[in-house]
Structure 1
Amino acid sequence: MIRKKHKFSISPYLFVAPSVLLFSLTILVPILLTFAFSFYDWNGFGKMNFIGFDNYARAFHDRIYLLSYWHIFIYIILTVILEVFCGLILAGLITMNRRGSGLFRIAFFTPVMLPMIVVSYLWKFVYNSDFGLLNAVLNSVGLESWTRVWLGDPKFAIYAVTFVSGWVYAGYYMTIFYAGIQRIPNDMYESAYLDGATNWDIFFKIKIPMIRDLVDVAIMLCVLGGFQAFDLFYVMTNGGPYNSTEIVTTYVVKVVFNNMSIGYGSALAVIMSIVIAFIGILTNKLKKKDSGSLEY
């Protein structure tokens, strides 16, 4: 039997080339350059001085940079509560009461469709200490002692910004959970009702366990979103007051563009990438371990 030799064809490579080129120019090359710049002391214009790991050593002694990770941790914990769990409760309430559910879904999902810049300026007006809506409402109901400079108080600024994120994305996760709940067979609900289960029993013992994978994905998105957060913090507080809302992304932008320290900013970005990769790997291993124990 004679085997036919396959002729080499360049056509597949020509079709793939534009995508590979675009990926290289927009993602791969910047990553490699950022890693390379992290070993230099460079302001972006002058001479590049090789300093080895000095930028990395400096990062671990930078109080503001280390504090920014604590702020991200607070932000992630609060967004998981405000976005994921509130979205889960909203999805449960909507599926319990079908009347007007479409209107409620639209109302809760509308903030997601607004640009974050618009949302940031809107809530800056709400939080304004002089003529803001929040303080005006508190004054009108006799709670003058609760009024404060929300975005200017180091104790409350991080919570004020985080609440805005929860207001925006709770409806987004609600929609995801609602779609997952809709896929659960009605036979399970009917059997539970026959056994005397209430709506809340069904929600906690049937609906949530059946969409557990969606909840895990949502929590992971919150974790990654915490490290990617920028525009909300940049517009509302820009890391202030007194660095009380400084996160890694806002601090890196200040180091690179305000201080003109390209090398040090690159080192900070590399460290953040390593932290994110470590969290992703750890989460994946924990998920596999959890899945294995459930199978056992």
Structure 2
Amino acid sequence: MKVLQRFSALPAIDGDGVNINRVADFDKLRFDPYLMIDEIKSDDEQDFIGGFPPHPHRGVETFTYIRKGGFEHRDQMGNVKPIRAGDVQWMSTGSGVVHSEMPLADAKEGLHGFQIWINMPAKHKMRPPIYQDTSKQANPRVENEHGATLVALAGDWGFNHEPHKITSTIQGLAGHGAIADLTLTEYGHGTLNLAEHQTVCVYVYQGELNYIDAQGLRETARAGQFLALDALEVCHFQTEATGAGLLILAGKPINEKIVHMGPFVMNTQAEIEQAVRDYQQGHFGQIA
């Protein structure tokens, strides 16, 4: 595993006062097609009780994964879904979505989850929105004898030199995106086959991940750090006594310049201004 760059998540506030940790790059696009990863992790409901009241999106895909607690999702397409621990939700917002995400009243033991933003190619930014979730089916899970467990959240995965790929329920992410949750017990290790991808990134959400850097030095990535990897290198993940929890993001760059403003990700300033006008004039619809 060769690490090209390392980033640290920064504290931020979004929605109605929700405390998050965020890694984002809307300017240099160093992890294209991925734009942002937000992590919510707290046992204090004051950090997330305000949730995310109704708001719009255009031109971006949002991918939500919950490990603890949950949200109720509502949108103008008529979807009303509880997204609980273990669930995934994907929205390819296209021409426009209005939705809300509010903490579930019966989720009283804290909240831990992620929302990942994926850019959409220009040719798809104005297509009708797409919604999928896994609330009625479990995500595929496989483990090896070395303490590594992979949960396939989106796309297809090659794990531990197995001859067959692990296929998740959620398919069709922009940029051929694939997302997985890899957990390692103490001194655990596992290998992922990611040679078909050009972008491979890892977000450490728990424990520590050990690796050798480009200069041959031993390094440790800790919770809250985000690594951009060399996709051509064998991706072997290992940890020591701490164990580790990792979100793995893989895909292919879209290689298009973007303009970003709040919930809108388009290709020109004129398109951003049109998105604002369309939303203000009610063209996105309303949550029923």
- Same fold? TM cut 0.5: no
More helix by share: 1
Q: Which has the larger radius of gyration?
A: 1
> Higher relative contact order by CA 8 Å / sep ≥ 6: 1 or 2?
1
User: Which has a greater percent of strand?
Assistant: 2
